[in-house]
Structure 1
Amino acid sequence: MPARPETDTTPPSWGESLPRLAVKLVVLIAIVILSHYAIDFALSWAESLPAHSEARAERLILLAIFVAYALLIALPFVPGIEIAIALLVLRGPEFALPIYLATLGGLSLAFLAGRLVPIRSLKRFFLDLHIVRAAALVDRLGPMGPAQRVRELQRSLPRKHARIALRYRYVGLALLINMPGSGLIGGGGGICLMAGMSGVFSPRATLPTLALAVMPFPVLMWVAGTNGLMPWLPA
């Protein structure tokens, strides 16, 4: 079969696209399942540690747990907030700062990984789904710089909403990450990955946005735990 021209936006037949979509779905499900097993293992590991331990080996184990947590929440559809709550319930406000740093590190990793993925890689995905207009938009955005992409999106999206959505896109990113049920649209890792792939979010503004976006929950748990407002948390 001759290679498709890069600018070709003719969708393949369902016979061609469905196997590719099925493989992507199976890989995604496998990642989510393995992530849950890894989460359970990490939590069981943390639960077995004595509280306030100063042993060097146990500090290394805790470091490994938080590194694993950061890597897990960088993945799409992994429920980061649920893992953070479980870790806080195990050790209370003592874990608030490490959870904050690990969450920020994981989401930043997802965003930076997304910036390494060419936006044109979305074209085949949209064509497999027969979303031709989105594939054509990716074609137009591919060779553009960030400012040009924003202007092109403003022209392509419904005029009533485009200016607000794009002008306040960093606020929107922060709200999406903290939105209840965000796991259904990819979780924090998936949202940050797509933000990086879009090319309209600069690292200079995105990383401080993420630092502020993930701050409320750990701060709330730390304040509540240290002041006895949540007696079920370990002191």
Structure 2
Amino acid sequence: MSNPGRPFSWAGLLVRLVLLLALILAARHTSDWVLAHLPGALAEGAHPLRHGMVWGAMLAYVVLLMIPFVPGVEIGLGLMMAFGAGIAPLIYLCTVLALTLAFLIGRCLPETRVIALLSRLRLTRMADLLRQLQPLDTEARLAILMQSPRPRLLSYRFVILAAALNLPGNFVIGGGGGISLIAGFCRLFSLHGFILTVSLAVAPVPVAIFLFG
């Protein structure tokens, strides 16, 4: 007997993928638009933090940086290039905020739905592993995963996270938002450890611009 729900599930998955792609394309277009129009919208000599469009760009930067596969960091770099050292601390705080929000969203993703999706995609080994890890806390998950062929990678997971966030062109592996989302979903990173790692990882460029202009 055929399962009438299965075609509907695949159709729903296709719709979600199309919507996600549309969201990514819209976000990238928004990023390009902001970078192209923001400098010309400011009066010459005006302080950028007193202009409403700059604060709108900050909000757009936070939202875009949270979205996987969107190089939202380009807005932050564009703002710092346009307005110099004075805006670097705010860009830094917005970056940490955006990545932390993406991490928290990852924590809230329902594991049962992800497992079901992996099963439908025939990714049974990954689905089985998640099903095994689902009821466990962070320490228990690490104990199981440390039995993998490359357990030392888990010992350096915070270093790997920092390196991934600073990897040039990392939007092809999800960007800052996607990396943070997965970090939250896998539940191998504590919140305070994640925030500390992100705070250190994204600091060099804003600090350099703030100190040296």
Alignment of structure 1 residues 171-210 onto 2, 5 Å: 171-210=159-198
Distance 1:49 1:29, change over 3 A: same
Q: CA deviation at 1:25?
A: 2.5
Higher helix share: 2
2:157 alignment partner in structure 1: 169
1:132 aligns with 2:124: yes
Aligned length in residues: 211
TM-score scaled by length of structure 1 = 0.80
45, 69, 73: which one pairs with 1:81? 73
Question: Residue 118 of structure 2 aligns to which amino acid in structure 1?
Answer: F
1:220 aligns with 2:208: yes
Cα separation, 1, equivalents of 2:206 and 2:75 = 12
SS at match of 2:51: helix
**Over aligned residues, Cα RMSD in angstroms?**
2.6
Aligned sequence identity (%): 35
SS at structure 2 position matched to 1:120: helix
Contact 2:71 2:171 in 1 (8 A): yes
Give the equivalent residue in structure 1 for 2:20. Answer: 28
Output the CA distance in 2 between the equivalents of 1:27 and 1:130. Answer: 22
**Structure 2: where are the runs of 5+ without partners?**
none
Tell me the distance in 1 between the aligned counterparts of 2:37 and 2:125: 48
Distance 1:207 1:62 in 2: 25
Q: Is the 8 A contact 1:75 1:189 kept in 2?
A: yes
Contact 2:88/2:207 (8 A) holds in 1:
yes
Shift of 1:145: 0.8
Q: Which residue of 1 aligns with 2:97?
A: 105
From 110, 113, 128, the equivalent of 1:121 is: 113
- In structure 2, relative to structure 1, the CA distance for the partners of 1:51 and 1:73 (3 Å cut) is farther
Distance 1:168-1:52 versus aligned 2 partners, 3 A rule: farther
Q: TM-score scaled by structure 2?
A: 0.87
The letter for the 2-side match of 1:106 is A
**In the aligned structure 1, how far is the partner of 2:11 from the partner of 2:164?**
31
Q: Residue 95 of structure 2 aligns to which amino acid in structure 1?
A: T
Distance 2:184 2:123 in 1: 21
